[in-house]
Homo-oligomer: A and B are copies of this chain.
């Protein structure tokens, strides 16, 4: 029972993306798969990172920013100053996400309102 690994093709189909995209992310330093000869072998760590990347993309973040964030998860630094810096960084990231959630909730509310109006119109047609 040794730890599971994945090929690039498996990851691509698992997360519904493309080989090209995964290779591109490696090129950008976001993924660092092991190699057997030339073939990539992905371990759990890179699988998780890929998941984080794709989620970040769905949320509309650029790869640079995503890279910054997922690297925060890597190395909790050992030095106090660095730790405080990291914590401050986390704060601003969270603020960004909270702003985004406000946007999202507003958009949802407006959609609901629109649907209500549509249903009213639809009901009005029956009279």
Query: Which residues of chain A have a CB within 8 Å of any CB of chain B?
Result: 55-61, 72-73, 76, 78, 80, 83-84, 86-87, 90-91, 93-94, 97-101, 103-108, 110-112, 114-115, 117-119, 121-122, 125
Contact = CB atoms under 8 A, between A and B. Distances in A.
Nearest to A54: B103
A94 B122 contact: no
Tell me the dominant secondary structure on chain A's binding face: helix
Most buried by B among A90, A105, A121: A121
8 contacts: A72-B114, A73-B114, A83-B121, A90-B118, A94-B111, A97-B107, A101-B105, A104-B104
A111 B87 contact: no
